[in-house]
Amino acid sequence: MPYAINRRLVLKLAVMGFLALLALVMPASGAMLHDGVVYSGRLQLDIHTPAEEPVRASILQLNLFSSSGGGLKPVVIYAHGGGWVKGDRKRVYSLPKWLNSKGYLLVAIDYRKVPTTTIDGQARDLADAVSWVRTNIRRYGGDPNRIVLMGHSAGAHLVALTAARGMVGQVRGVIPNDVQAYDMVAYAGMRGSLGYPYLDAFGSDPDNWVRWSPVTYARQGSGFPPHLFLHSGSDGARRRALTKGYANLLRSRGARVEVFDGSRYTHGSIANRLGRPGDAATAAIERFLERVTR
């Protein structure tokens, strides 16, 4: 019996040594893509992990290390832009390479588009994706207790809305990047009308404008996660005012809030320049992520 036990131990140690050696010869940077993982119905997500992650995951499967979460990486769940009516999970720019290099897993999600669904349906899709990640991400080396939501444009609105509604459970932080839809009644008043793509997504019923505005829920809630808002210089004073207005409301409800003034960026460049050396928006996000995922 001791001989059999020793044989199993020797085998485990031998496999562990082989995997450790393999980890040394594999590149330490770059992204490995787990493409098109189904999270709900026909909806899919992509999981971008550092290239060495599968080796570490294989070691974990040997039960040689504790499953308490040591070594697991924080997770950024990303909702793409596209005006609520278009786009897909592949619209991630340089996020995978950048975030993986900083020690984060990136999960980029698809969600249904208007008019196939409504903004309520899109919010449920995002909430379902977060729930799937929380249940399954350990298998990919991610920490289910250190999740940050991030989105650009329409995706920024959806991460803000689901956080305000309390649909995503406890997350470490929320990063809405450049959207004006925090308060659709105020937006319509400032602009004089909705216009594309807001009219297509929110419709002409003011009741829906209220229903799908994050401010509606922030005004009556509390316990919101930390937020980092970014806004570009596109649409000038209106975009800045709507962003700061919602940020100030969350701050008044006790949330920890930061605002990055990206007046020198366009709506596109504040997303597609992320990850570039010396980029100010990149640095702001890195500081926020480091603080909330510690």
| Average pLDDT value for the chain | 89
Q: How many CB atoms lie within 10 A of CB 263?
A: 11
Q: Please tell me which residue, 28 or 181, carries the higher pLDDT value.
A: 181
According to the model, what pLDDT value does residue 157 have?
A: 98
| pLDDT 10s digits, 108-164 | 999 999 999 999 999 999 999 999 999 999 999 999 999 999 999 999 999 999 999
Percent of the chain with pLDDT over 90: 81
According to the model, what pLDDT value does residue 50 have?
A: 85
pLDDT at 235 over 80: yes
Percent of the chain with pLDDT over 70: 83
| pLDDT 10s digits, 37-67 | 999 999 999 999 987 644 444 444 444 333 4
According to the model, what pLDDT value does residue 67 have?
A: 43
Domains, the chain: 29-292 (3.40.50.1820)
**Average pLDDT of the segment spanning 65-87:** 84
Q: Please tell me which residue, 264 or 22, carries the higher pLDDT value.
A: 264
pLDDT at 27 over 60: no
According to the model, what pLDDT value does residue 51 have?
A: 72
